[in-house]
Amino acid sequence: MGFILPLFLGFITAAIGISPPGLINMTAAKISVQDGKIRAMLFAAGALIIIFFQTLLALIFARYIDSHQEVVILLREIGFGIFSVLTLYFLFLAKGPKKSVKDTLKIKSKKSRFFLGMLISAINFFPIPYYVFVSVSLASFGYFSFQISSIYTFVIGVVFGSFAVFYAYIAFFKKIESKTDFLIQNMNAIIGSVTGLVSIFSLYNIVRYYFKL
């Protein structure tokens, strides 16, 4: 399969997953404004170390899942149920935030920005199920294989993609601040739409498996 494709896939999936305003990238942006770009980059470096190990763990777990087809189907069915519930919640039940990013994001820690990045990234468990789902899905379509070389190349791509997004937030936060406020205000609709697409994709794979389409 080579190195280019898994590297590219890792980069793209990381960029998609981490681009929406979240705790890590918005904290990096806030540190850049308050303390300068160097300290913000130290924060990002700490976060990237944790992301590396989280992604590696996710792909090792996904490798086991991929070799047990019955587990893949079970997880697809569970995932379909979870994402369907999340879609209904975010589109129809969840209330939007009332404060802007500037009002809600406060950084009180005076500790090393590097270790702060590691800490905040460590309490964010989203990357593990995200990369499990993505890698198993890509493997089912033949775009990815769970060979050791492909796994590590994909992980490196994830690190590069995450760094690119962090750098964009750090370097251009002032220019995109109004857009991030808009995204935050409409985040429920965005998340609901994404989970809805994932639900449809999961349902398609479930139907295709049971009816051998």
DSSP 149-200: HHHHHHHHHHHHHHHHHHHHHHHHHHHHHHHHHHHHHTHHHHHHHHHHHHHH
Residue 189: is its pLDDT beyond 90?
no
> Which has the higher per-residue pLDDT, 207 or 190?
207
pLDDT band at residue 70 under the 50/70/90 scheme: confident
- In this structure, the number of other CB atoms found within 10 A of the CB of residue 18 comes to 25
For position 103, what pLDDT does the model report?
47
What's the token pair of residue 97?
């935030």
Give the 3-state secondary structure of residue 100. coil
Q: Which amino acid is at 204?
A: Y
Tokens 């964009």 — which residue?
A: 168
- Contacts (Cβ under 8 Å, ≥6 apart) of 69: none
pLDDT digits (tens, 9 = 90+) for 130-140: 898 888 878 87
- Residue among 145, 132, 166 nearest 40 (CA): 166
For position 104, what pLDDT does the model report?
45
Q: How far apart are CA 118 and CA 116, in angstroms?
A: 5
Mean pLDDT of 159-167: 95
Indicate the average pLDDT of the chain: 81
State what percent of residues in the chain have pLDDT above 90. Answer: 33
pLDDT band at residue 186 under the 50/70/90 scheme: low
What's the token pair of residue 188?
């429920």
Could you say which DSSP state residue 89 is in?
A: I
Mean pLDDT of 170-178: 70
pLDDT band at residue 114 under the 50/70/90 scheme: very high
pLDDT digits (tens, 9 = 90+) for 11-64: 999 998 888 777 888 889 888 888 888 999 999 999 999 999 999 999 999 998
Output the CA–CA distances (angstroms, integers) from residue 199 to 33, 84, 193, 195, 202, in the order listed. 38, 6, 10, 6, 5
- Residue among 151, 124, 132, 155 nearest 27 (CA): 124
For position 174, what pLDDT does the model report?
66
> Which has the higher per-residue pLDDT, 213 or 61?
61
Tokens 């792909």 — which residue?
A: 59
Query: What burial class does residue 84 get, using C-beta atoms within 10 Å of its C-beta: 0-12 exposed, 13-18 middle, 19+ buried?
Result: middle
> Which has the higher per-residue pLDDT, 93 or 26?
26
Characterise 36 by phi-psi region: left (phi > 0), alpha (psi -120 to 50), beta (else): left
Could you say which DSSP state residue 90 is in?
A: I
Residue 178: is its pLDDT beyond 70?
no
Q: Which amino acid is at 57?
A: L
